[in-house]
Structure 1
């Protein structure tokens, strides 16, 4: 079993070849290939965490599409003052498919 843990935006994701993950928006067109930095690499029983060895590990992914996350409502309220504030947010996301771990 070969998998890697990659840095994807502010998070870390466990990926295998063929897995589809959702990342924060990446500036790449559909069909383009991007490279994700590895934090951990597991090849069978061998676990690699050394920074020099991880620099040689290449995790490539193909951009499938751009999308937006669910709407989050932010609401602030202060009692007895008449202060109310309402705001919404939708995160920009990119869906990618892992094509190779070398």
Structure 2
């Protein structure tokens, strides 16, 4: 069993070949149907665990960009009592869905 832990949009994700991961689009500069390389933090190959930074520079985790999408709407509301202050705004995070194609 071979898997890796990669940096994916400010977070870390455990991935294997064929895994589909959703990550932030801002961190990931790739077009749809393109490929992207992800930085490995940890590599597990059977009984061998690699966490040394020098050894992990040689590890490449490639992913294929499947689609760009947006997350759910988050509503931010602020209110102060007795002052008439009310503020409402929304946010939708831009995301990218990728499929892991190889760990070498």
Same fold (TM over 0.5): yes
Per-residue CA deviations over 1:73-100 (Å, capped at 9, x if unaligned) read 0000101111000000000000000000
Report the CA distance between 1:9 and its aligned residue. Answer: 1.5
Match of 1:18 in 2: 18
- Runs (4+) of structure 1 exceeding 3 A deviation are none
Report the CA distance between 1:28 and its aligned residue. Answer: 1.5
Unpaired runs of at least 5, structure 1:
none
Q: Is 1:8 matched up with 2:34?
A: no
Per-residue CA deviations over 1:5-44 (Å, capped at 9, x if unaligned) read 0001210000000000001002211111100000000001
Match of 2:47 in 1: 45
Q: Distance in 1 between matches of 2:81 and 2:7?
A: 42
Higher mean displacement: 28-37 or 64-73: 28-37
Q: Distance in 2 between matches of 1:33 and 1:20?
A: 13
CA RMSD of aligned residues (A): 0.6
Match of 2:91 in 1: 89
TM-score of the aligned structures, taking structure 1 as reference length? 0.98
State the SS of the aligned residue for 2:29: coil
TM-score of the aligned structures, taking structure 2 as reference length? 0.96
Q: Distance in 2 between matches of 1:53 and 1:5?
A: 14
State the SS of the aligned residue for 1:14: strand
